[in-house]
Amino acid sequence: MAGRKLPKGEVYHSVDLDPTCQRVLLGHNPVHVFKDILQLLKLPVRIAVQRVMKEKEAHVQQLLAESQNSDTPKQKKQQLKSDLKEVGEGVLKSLMECMDQFSDKDFFQATAACYKHPDGAGSCQIFPDKVETLDGEGAGSKEYFMAGTSCTDWSSMGTMTSLAGSTVLPFAVELQIVKRRRPRVFFHECTRNFRPTILAQYLEGF
User: What is the tens place of the pLDDT at every residue in 174-202?
Assistant: 999 999 988 888 888 888 888 889 999 99
Residues in the chain with pLDDT values less than 70:
1-8, 120-122, 130-141, 158-159
- Residue 17: name the closest of 1, 5, 6, 33 by CA: 33
Nearest-angstrom CA–CA distance, 131 and 192: 32
DSSP for residue 114? B
The pLDDT value recorded for residue 131 is 57
- Whole-structure pTM value: 0.84
Nearest-angstrom CA–CA distance, 139 and 133: 8
Percent of the chain predicted with pLDDT > 70 = 88
The pLDDT value recorded for residue 132 is 53
The pLDDT value recorded for residue 17 is 86
Nearest-angstrom CA–CA distance, 169 and 48: 11
The conformational region for residue 21 under phi > 0 = left, psi -120 to 50 = alpha, else beta, is: alpha
The pLDDT value recorded for residue 138 is 44
Nearest-angstrom CA–CA distance, 202 and 206: 10
Please report, as a single letter, which amino acid is at residue 128. P
